[in-house]
Amino acid sequence: MQRVLELLLLSSTALAVIGDGFIALPVHKLQAGEGSAHFPNRLPIFDVVNGVAKSVEDDVNQIIQPIFGNGIFSGGSIQGTHSGNGHSVKYEVSLPSSSSQKGSNGPSSTDNKDTDPSKTGFSLDDLMNSIPTDFWNLIGLNKAPTSSDNGSKDADFTPTSSASSSSSSEAASSSQPSEDSQPSSSANKKTGAFFLSLDNTQTLYTATLKVGSPAQEVQVMIDTGSSDLWFISSGNSQCKVNGGSIDCDKYGVFDKSKSSTWHDNKTDYSISYYDGDKASGTMGQDNITFADGFSIENANFAVIDNTTSSIGVFGVGYPELEAVKSKYTNLPFAMKEQNLIAKVAYSLYLDSRDAVQGYILFGGIDHAKYTGDLKAFDIVQSNDKYVYSQIPLTSVASSLNNYTNAYGLPAGSNHPKVGAVIYNGTDSFNGGVDLKDTPTLLDTGTTYSYLSKDQVESIVGLYGNVTYNDAGKAYEVPCWVGNPGNYLEFNFKNEQYIKVPTSEFVISVGTYASGAELCVFGILPGTHSILGDNFMRSVYAVFDLEDHVISIAQAAYNDNHAVVPIE
């Protein structure tokens, strides 16, 4: 029998064992500083074609452009002119000084390979190098990126046969809790569910793990779009203590020489991500503790000796995405193998945009954290293999109910298109954009969202003229669209509808020459369809990697908990 568990989320360093096999660990959201920040896209740079992974250099479309492209850097701002729909608009985007450390909105992982001097007056490399080093340090880089950074390595990857396929039209296997039920885990197996807290940094979500013997606390980024766990080594050549420029102490490092249980298996590890970060080191095994009584022995992970990233990655995706030739048991599957959980499944709750923490719940579902019903969708395979945690996205529609500051915009600015957007303040929709069940990755490792160029233009077209901003490498949108009460509705197979405030997608990046605020849209054009953190905060999602389904519902923001294990 199972019973309702009212769990108390504690501070990031605390934990509580509540019931038999249930653990609450808070997840924290890290707050970004003002100005440009480094927004991650931790989708690994390799693709699977006919069962073989290949480098996709042409797909690296969002690496080195925070908020500037064809603009000119001058006096602490990016200035330029772009044209569209028969008019030209001047723009100016302010950059932070080295002392500015608060808040950030502009997208940074955007597409730019354009180094044509005829458009900028000088090359992109010249533009990058003209910006003070303090600025690059502020966003987590030790130097200006160059056009050569667009290259990518071939991943060391040989796929293995995938698990047998199974589908489900029901929500992820679970039972609604009842007040008189008891936990189902046994004392000798310790199988159950446990929380791992996630910190919201506004650009990524982090969790704290204890690694080695004695335990060393290290924070890592939770990523549903990759599959490897890796920690930054104390010997990382890019760390300040080793002569580099990265503050590796901010999130912690792993010193394998201080762990009596570390085993180096002499296997090289290397991975590149779409945001430009790279990491290389060696694979090995050691013990990882999530909370008292919940540990993985001889867990497989990489220790990174060379990376400009300031934080490691906890990938919780399918093993097919592992960046090594010989596949291994990654953490979600090891949790079941070592009887920490009964099924290779976890649920994800990021909480609201303003919240500082959410959580990932391995082996369980928290029925207090969503409204309506969980709807299950079969994960879409890639070349007959389960690779990405992706489900079909059918359409996107919009409702506008708040018109504050909707008028008095600069000449030529966007104006809403009647018939595509609802203006009557109701929840009914007229029109919208048919996305034709596009397989879409649900990815906590990506700050913004991505769809094809045509799809993004169709969505932006709901709000008026479609104007691409070369500086932001994104499409402009009227800033008032982000007013409270306005939202986008994401339709999955006409079975589940998730409402997301438009404020999640309207990003202020500067001003027009007239002084009016300039905003761009937080769904960017890309070669992979991804719903990132700006969508994921509005959904409660259950990833079942064993039955190959993802169940989703509208997230409910509250302090209540009603957790049951997934059997």
Residues designated as active site: 223, 443
Half-sphere exposure of 552 (CA within 13 A, CB side): 26
The alpha carbon of 270 is separated from its chain's Cα centroid by a whole number of angstroms, namely 20
- SS3 track for 334-373: HHHHCCCCCCCEEEEECCCCCCCEEEEEECEEEHHHEEEE
Tell me the DSSP string of 192-245.
-EEEEEEEE-SS-EEEEEEETTTTEEEEEEEETT---EEEEBTT-TTBGGGTSS
d(CA 550, CA 167): 10
CA distance 213 to 363: 25
DSSP-derived 3-state class of residue 27:
strand
Query: What's the CA gap between 412 and 418, in Å, rounded?
Result: 17
Q: CA quadruple 470, 475, 477, 482: dihedral positive or negative?
A: negative
Q: Kindly report the number of other CB atoms within 10 A of residue 85's CB atom.
A: 11
For the chain, give the number of residues: 567
In sequence order, the β-bridge partners of residue 398 are 488
Please answer whether residues 3 and 177 qualify as being in contact, where contact means their C-beta atoms are separated by less than 8 angstroms: yes
Contacts of 442 (CB under 8 A, 6+ apart): 224, 389, 390, 391, 531, 535, 536, 539, 541, 543, 550, 552
The two tokens of residue 24 are: 């609450």
Alpha-carbon Rg for the chain in angstroms: 23
280 exposed, middle or buried (CB, 10 Å; 0-12, 13-18, 19+)? middle
